[in-house]
Amino acid sequence: MITRINSSQRMSQAVKHNGIVYLAGQVGTAGDSVAQQTRQCLQKVENLLSDAGSSKSQILQAIIWLDDMADFNEMNQVWDSWMTQANAPARATGEARLANPDLKVEIIVTAACAQ
């Protein structure tokens, strides 16, 4: 069974299937600092994981896109205060032009969840 969460015609914010939840890319408020946007992204991730019956301790993989790799350390300071070493997922971070030039961070996660 496939369960879609917060869906529109274009996309779902999360999709559950076979004990895995796939989240769409989460962004913060355009124009805020990298740290603020990262915190906002992570709060959205937590909320969606909760809606799907999962949590940040169940994240399997995280993909982080930064508008500028010069912001890597600022983003990591927020990430490191949010994630525990015991639950650290496989993670990749890359640089990409995001949908809005005032967006600095986009975070995509895949996590285990209850069926």
> Quick one: how far is CA 81 from the chain centroid?
15
Q: Quick one: pLDDT at residue 114?
A: 80
Full-model pTM:
0.96
- The dotted CATH code for 2-112 is 3.30.1330.40
Q: Quick one: pLDDT at residue 7?
A: 96
Q: Dump pLDDT digits (tens) for 7-64.
A: 999 999 999 999 999 999 999 999 999 999 999 999 999 999 999 999 999 999 999 9
Q: Dump pLDDT digits (tens) for 55-72.
A: 999 999 999 999 999 999
